[in-house]
Amino acid sequence: MNYSRQREVILNVLRSTTSHPTAEWIYEQSKNILPSISLATVYRNLAYLEQLHEIIKVQGVFEKDRYDGNTKNHAHFVCLVCGNVIDTDVDSDTKVKILTSIPEKADTFSIIFSGVCQKCREKSNNPN
């Protein structure tokens, strides 16, 4: 794989946030640096980078795919009110317990928690 400035920018943009952005958002940010970059280039490079395990594609959160520059094995919390996706650590004890809890031999796992985040919980006056 040859060097490309576009790929470098896309990766930097993704690594500069913890917001688990969509391809469209990464495209808009990248345009600030490379105004002529194309959306297809963003998609193509995100696919490459995922294959190289430089980034992670997070599916199953609302409708669009999200991308994550943090490749450490961690879980995601999706707030059903504000839609934010929050990284949550999974300690290695839990990780082992999860991976050994099934008969199959899993290489990786994806955990997506759903609920209402702390902020949204505070905003509503619901004492729960």
- Interface positions with a copy of itself (CB under 8 A): 58-60, 75, 77, 79, 86, 88-91, 94, 97-99, 101-118, 121
| Count of residues that bind DNA according to CB under 7 A | 24
Q: State how far Cα 117 lies from the chain centre.
A: 17
Residue 47 binding partner per list a copy of itself, DNA, none, with a CB distance cut-off of 5 to 8 Å that depends on partner kind: DNA
Nearest distance from C-beta of residue 51 to DNA, angstroms: 11
Binding status of residue 43 toward DNA by CB under 7 A? yes
Question: What's the distance, CA 39 to chain centroid?
Answer: 18
Choose among a copy of itself, DNA, none what residue 88 binds, the Cβ cut-off being 5 to 8 Å by kind.
a copy of itself
Nearest to 65 by CA among 46, 38, 45: 46
Nearer to a copy of itself, 40 or 96 (CB): 96
CA–CA distance, 118 with 115 (Å, rounded to integer): 10
Give the angle subtended at the CA of 19 by the CAs of 14 and 24, to the nearest 5°: 60
List, in order, residues 6 or more apart from 102 with CB less than 8 Å away: none
Q: Does residue 24 interact with DNA by CB under 7 A?
A: yes
Interface residues with DNA (CB under 7 A) are 1-7, 22-24, 34, 36-41, 43-45, 47, 63-65
